[in-house]
Amino acid sequence: MKILLVDDHAVLRTGLRLLLQTQPDLEVVGEAGDGAQGLVEIRRLKPDLVILDLSLPGLGGLDALRQIMAEQPWLKVLILTMHDDAEFVRTALTAGARGYVLKRAADTELLNAIRLVSKGETYVYPSLAARLILESGREVRETKSSKLSTRETEVLQLIALGYTQQEIAERLSLSVKTVETHKARISEKLELKTRAELVRYAMGHGLVQMD
């Protein structure tokens, strides 16, 4: 596998070259210290894999990644960066990167990431992968919650506070049948079946405060 290193730190590039050259099936064919030069070297050397930093002078890593994908969408790009942030991971993967490794773990994780990416798989540093999963789950819950109307939110709050359907109807000047309809819609939108699940949801999303 022919690899191009794109990073503005010469010392790091040297260390990476030494590490990769210990592997008989990997060959570092070139280096670049900024995004623009990286694009030039990609066109000239036609590597199989590019190891790309995000923080580059001039043309930044993400912009370079987008240009690489526009020109050679089949090329495998592995991000190697200090940015320990799930949003950077999400942006890089959306732009076309096949993997995301933190520099602090380059010695232990980089070779594994290269192997996986070379097989067509996607690699994300474990702690960041876990954070992405958690944030994706949170986004799904927030999206579900945003589907509730103002009246449905009021009904959910009163359910969580222990009011019966009759009491909710009297408090909101609704019929019991209308309250039942609102409850059914809330359960459908939030994909929650029992009253206990609705209470936990309301408490977890700050809709009610309980001592």
23 phi and psi, to 5 degrees?
-100, 120
Same domain, 98 and 161: no
Token pair listed for 63? 């912009």
Q: Give domain status of residue 142, yes or no.
A: no
Find the CATH number of the domain harbouring 189: 1.10.10.10
Residue 167 neighbours by CB distance under 10 Å: 14
User: Which segments in the chain show pLDDT lower than 70?
Assistant: 126-146, 208-211
Asked if 55 and 72 touch (Cβ cutoff 8 Å), the reply is no
Range of the domain at 94: 2-133
**pLDDT tens digits, one per residue of 131-188:** 555 555 454 455 555 678 888 888 888 888 778 889 899 988 999 999 999 999 988 8
What's the number of domains the chain is made of? 2
Asked if 96 and 78 touch (Cβ cutoff 8 Å), the reply is no
- Output the pLDDT for position 67: 95
- Output the pLDDT for position 140: 47
DSSP 103: G
